[in-house]
Structure formats: C-alpha cells, structure tokens
Chain A
C-alpha cells in the first residue's frame, strides 16, 4: 500500500471550515483514498473515500487532485466534537485489501 504524509497537527476555529491535507504521491491506479478519524481512544470512524472524483457526504467533502497524488478532507463547519486524529490511508479494494497502513495522522483541534 502507498504511504501517506499528513501534517502532525492543525487548529481550526469553531464554525469555520477545516481543510486537512494528505500527500500520497506513490498511489497506484487501483488504490482508493480513505479518511478516518479517531476521537480519543475510541475505534476509528470511517468518514469518506474516493478514487478519482471529488466526493461529498453528510460528514465531509473529499477533494482529490487530478494526478491523485494528494487530497484534502474538508469539514465544512467544524464543531468542538470534530476534535480528533484524522487518518488518511490508501488501500486497494477487494479481499486482499488488508494492509491498510495508518500513519500518524493529523491531530485536529477545534477551538471555540
């Protein structure tokens, strides 16, 4: 699986958009970009994923560059409850998609 690079920490004001970048310059054509977050020591929670196109769901938007070497997770209106560690991973779909290696992630702190 391709490795990802994320900034170790970011701050965001409550109510503002949080933009979390991820670099995955060695991504393969069949690898998807996934975002998860982990609040304190709870189990990681799936946020969103994409292959080529930008994606949006009720939680966030995912912007993937045309060359697919980087992506940005956007939380449109961050709340205090969005304070968490955000992980960007790339993985292949299918039964052999096991080696989903999580990096150190980005610790997002939403401030009042």
Chain B
C-alpha cells in the first residue's frame, strides 16, 4: 500500500460526458502528479501540483483540467470525453521540496468511454 488513494477504481461513461477523478496523496506529501496510461502504452505525464499551485504541465489536453485543494487532495476533470480517453489514470505524490523524493503511485482509476 503506497498510501496514495484514488477513486473511483473503475468508471464507465459515454462519449461527450464529463468525469472527475480524485486523488488523496500520502500524508505529508505536498506534490501531486497525474499520469495517463492508455492500453499497452507507457505513462504519459499530464500535470503536477505542489501545495495547491500548478508546477509543471505535460501533454494535457485542453478538455482536461486539474486542481489541488487546501487539504492537498487533487481532482482531475475530464470533459467532452472521447473514445481515445479510455485509459488508466494514475496519481502519484512525493515529498518534493528539494529532496530527491520518489514518486508514490496510487492504484489508478480505469476509465472506459463507450
């Protein structure tokens, strides 16, 4: 158990819909990262937040947005869903702050768009 909690574990929805994925980082971790993993693909970095502020952005689509709340949990919002958005979405957290902290990953949210 990494200490990172993601909900929901599985989600099935239709094209055009909007979903929200939630991540609770490990206690004390200030950084949250979101990754997308499509079938048989590597992990694509989407976005990072540190203590509520966006710190780094990857190839995140404009239809996707994220935020980190004062209690440090984070949400990834996916809108106008397309079939190609079906993937595993992972959240990771780290201590950051200058230390070479490793990333602790949650078990992911599997999104299926029909």
Contacts and interface: CB of A to CB of B under 8 A. Distances in A.
Does B bind A? yes
B4 A44 contact: no
A98 B99 contact: no
Contact of B55 (A34, A41, A95, A104): A95
B45 A93 contact: no
Contacts of A43: 2, 4, 90, 92, 105-108
A44 B43 contact: yes
Contact of B102 (A42, A49, A51): A49
Contacts of B45: 98-102
Chain A contact-residue range equals 20 to 34
Nearest to A105: B42
Interface residues of B, number: 37
Contacts of A94: 96-99
Contact of A98 (B55, B98, B106): B55
B28 interface: no
Given A44-B90, A93-B99, A93-B100, A98 B31 contact: yes
Interface in A80-112: 87, 93-105
A59 to B, nearest CB: 12
Given A43-B90, A97-B94, A102 B42 contact: yes
Interface string A23-43: 000000000101010000111
Interface of A: 32, 34, 36, 41-46, 49, 51, 87, 93-105
Interface of B: 2, 4, 30-31, 33, 35, 37, 41-45, 47-48, 50, 55-58, 88, 90, 92, 94, 96-108, 110
Given A41-B37, A96-B50, A98-B47, 15 more contacts: A42-B108, A94-B99, A95-B97, A97-B94, A98-B57, A99-B48, A99-B56, A99-B58, A100-B45, A100-B103, A101-B45, A101-B58, A102-B43, A104-B41, A104-B42
